[in-house]
Structure 1
Amino acid sequence: MTQVWVNGVQAKEIDPLDRAIAYGDGLFATMRIAAGEIQFLSAHLARLTQGAKRLGFTWSASQELQGLLNSSALTQVNGCVKLLLSRGVGGRGYAAPDACGINEVLSLYELPQHYAHWQSEGVSLSLSEVKLAKQPRLAGIKHLNRLEQVLIKSTALPSSFDDWLVLDSDNQVIESSMANLFFVKKNTVFTPAISHSGVAGVMREQVIHALVESGYHIDIKKIGYTDIDKFDHCFMTNSLFGLVDVNRIGTINYSKYSLSDRLRNTLQLTL
């Protein structure tokens, strides 16, 4: 049974007038628990703090919340924890209240078992018909308005495919339905620009830092769908499965990236 805490107290209810329910007014982070510890916790909390500022309210993790995160992680050797922030109750209209009563919802889950298989065998992506809208004011942050992803996931994947490749309205490659993407050509690693749509994942940030520290050049740029056959390798990242090679997108095949295992070892991502 999923364990849930609301504002530090074990509970499974929030006010029905909460703005998270009414408007998706908030943020969330999903973090991996490994050996009883939350990986990259400070980076996740920093991203939430930044995201809250971009939405127009002030939040930082209290010592009590950090203590609860750490103690709850000890109950699972491996798993995941989701931290959701809502601006709180705010009445019927769109306008946010002058004072925010921020609600913090923490929940624990098991890690999907197939992620270890994905790490060892890689995945295949099929092109989604659902395209992401361009909204630079929201791009990068993991806000609660995830209806685009709900629509993407509402269609069954074709046989032998594991996830969806997602484009924006200009047919630029943005991400998979759940992960950031990287493409490799010779010694340069490319990752799609997400200044107008998509999520800037914590694992994306960690992989970029690890590659830069190892002397590799990272190019953050627009990547058109018609350009994806120009690369030798492709991999995707998120906080739960870490780093997974992409074997193919549609009919385009990629070979395994030679640094994938090294990056997983360096960042302690191996499942």
Structure 2
Amino acid sequence: MNWINGEPALHLPLGDRLIQCGDGFFTTARLRHGRISLLPYHLERLSLAAQRLMFAPLDMALLAEEIQLAAESAVDGIIKVIISRGGGGRGYSMAGVSVPVRIICHSPAPAHYPTLMQRGVEMALSPVRLSRNPLFAGLKHLNRLEQVMIRAHLDRDGNADEALVLDTAGQVVECCAANLFWRTEDRVFTPRLNQAGVEGVMRRHIIDTLQRSTYTFSEIAAGPEALYAADEVIICNALMPVLPVKRIEARRYCSHQLFNYLGPYC
């Protein structure tokens, strides 16, 4: 089932800026028994993206109501919320653009995550680098061609489940569709996302959890060698929600200490 501006719908006008130039942003949430996991984080993410991308103000109360109605109707699976700037304007100009369009989509939950949780994720270093741009860093905007190409290389090569993705300066950023953390003894790290990458809601939830724990936590800029030297690596997103990493290239990991600690919280 799909909804546009609160009404069941399947089609978007061809003049919508989402289609014309990817002018929008989104969030993807886990739905269980009619409830959205981490809904406040998802709503905050959408509100922040609207502000930074200079959208007309969103009616967050109305959006939250529509999300909840969709969740109650769909019960289980995935709820994806897409916000388009709407129709209008000429070329790239926002002048004369109408109010934002709210799109909500439901789909089944991924079937492969339980298998990966049991056997661990195998990762390969991606040849595709993420461009650095502080204006868009952290946002889940609709311009995802970099991720499309990262996934294309994974699918073509067929030697890994996920990718370790660097930026154009050679710093670790994220995976194709997940954030990552690594542990060395009692210290836990995650990449700083001030230049590139997506700040996922599960990433934020894990950071909040670690800051209340006995682990020492830091967001840092680091190259891939930091992960190769780590005792353990995990990846996360709102749907997984947390998976242990078994291998990155030739480096193998056997510890599940952090994964086991985070499990009850995620």
CA deviations on 1:27-85 (whole Å, 9 max, x unpaired) are: 10000002221001111011110011000124344434322322222244431100000
8 Å contact kept, 1:157–1:163: no
Q: Which residue of 1 aligns with 2:127?
A: 129
1:66-105 equivalences in 2 (<5 Å): 66-97=64-95, 100-105=98-103
Partner of 1:84: helix, strand, or coil? strand
The verdict on how the C-alpha distance between 1:193 and 1:36 changes in structure 2, with shifts beyond 3 A counting, is: same
Of the three residues 116, 119, 122, the one matched with 1:118 is 116
The verdict on how the C-alpha distance between 1:92 and 1:68 changes in structure 2, with shifts beyond 3 A counting, is: same
Give the whole-Å Cα distance in 1 for the aligned partners of 2:118 and 2:190. 22
Give the whole-Å Cα distance in 1 for the aligned partners of 2:131 and 2:240. 26
1:33-72 equivalences in 2 (<5 Å): 33-72=31-70
Of the three residues 5, 19, 22, the one matched with 2:20 is 22
Shift of 1:98: 5.2
Give the whole-Å Cα distance in 2 for the aligned partners of 1:87 and 1:170. 32
The amino acid that maps onto 1:177 is C
- Output the aligned Cα RMSD: 1.6
The verdict on how the C-alpha distance between 1:126 and 1:218 changes in structure 2, with shifts beyond 3 A counting, is: same
* 1:263 paired to 2:259: no
Give the whole-Å Cα distance in 1 for the aligned partners of 2:231 and 2:101. 45
Partner of 1:154: helix, strand, or coil? helix
Q: Which residue of 2 aligns with 1:190?
A: 189
Give the whole-Å Cα distance in 1 for the aligned partners of 2:144 and 2:9. 24
The verdict on how the C-alpha distance between 1:260 and 1:226 changes in structure 2, with shifts beyond 3 A counting, is: closer
The amino acid that maps onto 1:126 is A
Q: Which residue of 2 aligns with 1:208?
A: 207
8 Å contact kept, 2:47–2:60: no
Give the whole-Å Cα distance in 2 for the aligned partners of 1:266 and 1:133. 33
The verdict on how the C-alpha distance between 1:245 and 1:101 changes in structure 2, with shifts beyond 3 A counting, is: same
Shift of 1:18: 1.0
Of the three residues 143, 146, 149, the one matched with 2:147 is 149
Shift of 1:196: 0.6
Give the whole-Å Cα distance in 2 for the aligned partners of 1:9 and 1:257. 45
The amino acid that maps onto 1:220 is E
Give the whole-Å Cα distance in 1 for the aligned partners of 2:144 and 2:178. 14
Shift of 1:256: 2.9
8 Å contact kept, 1:191–1:219: yes
Shift of 1:253: 1.1
Number of aligned positions between the proteins: 265
The amino acid that maps onto 2:146 is E
The verdict on how the C-alpha distance between 1:76 and 1:13 changes in structure 2, with shifts beyond 3 A counting, is: closer
Give the whole-Å Cα distance in 2 for the aligned partners of 1:85 and 1:75. 20
TM-score (norm 1): 0.92
Which of 71-80 and 133-142 deviates more? 71-80
Query: Where has structure 1 moved over 6 Å in runs of 4 or more?
Result: none
Partner of 2:137: helix, strand, or coil? coil
The verdict on how the C-alpha distance between 1:263 and 1:59 changes in structure 2, with shifts beyond 3 A counting, is: farther
Shift of 1:211: 1.0
Give the whole-Å Cα distance in 2 for the aligned partners of 1:188 and 1:262. 13
8 Å contact kept, 1:5–1:11: yes
The amino acid that maps onto 1:121 is R
Gaps of at least 5 residues in structure 2 are none
